[in-house]
Amino acid sequence: MSDEIFHMPLLGDDFPALEVQTTHGPMNIPGDLKGSWFVLFSHPADFTPVCTTEFFAFQKRVAEFDRLGCKLIGMSVDQVFSHIKWVQWIKENLDVQITFPIIAANDDIAKRLGMLHPGKGTNTVRAVFVGDPEGKVRLVLYYPQEIGRNIDEIVRAVEALQVSDEQGAIPAGWPNNELIGDEVIVPPATDEETAEKRLKEHNCFDWWFCHKPLEK
């Protein structure tokens, strides 16, 4: 396999400019999403059990993504008429209307995002890209075809990125961290004077591990 197949945007990179066809019509990504956070996620194929459970779960959490100002976009290398029919099937059989667009990708788009799995034919892996309002890649998750994603973790990650941009680093399991709950971590001191001040200004385990209440 060539390196091109496995290249994917790295954290902090501009999300690759894509002109795509979706179930909601043509889109330019990330251009049409500028000013919004977004989650673009790929799935191996329409009309498959694990993917159906994921789309159901994403749709059930649309309000949570909306609260975060975050748009959802699905994607696979199925043709758009397959996406449309699958969305209809989900509505008719599971009583859930998929309200976000689904990209009908081709192999070139999938390769540009590193989504083609070696040894898995033309099916895309379960990739998740979180982009910020400037179109920068902020988080990437990859799952094998056999493992469905935890959508609550994706919601949590988007919210954590937004809080981190404004307030500080985010601990494990936030907002339910075993040590500091929903508090955020103060950036580490870079000189001795600041290190001493930190101990007086914040809750600290030591000068290099201080935390503060979440600003809500």
Catalytic residues: 51
- Whole-angstrom CA distances from 190 to 9, 198, 201, 204, 214 are 31, 11, 16, 16, 23
**If we measure between CA atoms, which residue out of 94, 55, 59 comes closest to residue 76?**
55
**CA 203 – CA 211 distance, rounded (Å):** 6
**If we measure between CA atoms, which residue out of 159, 150, 98, 99 comes closest to residue 128?**
150
**CA 66 – CA 2 distance, rounded (Å):** 38
CB 23 within 8 A of CB 102: yes
Q: What are phi and psi of 4, to 5 degrees?
A: -55, -35
Q: What are phi and psi of 27, to 5 degrees?
A: -140, 150
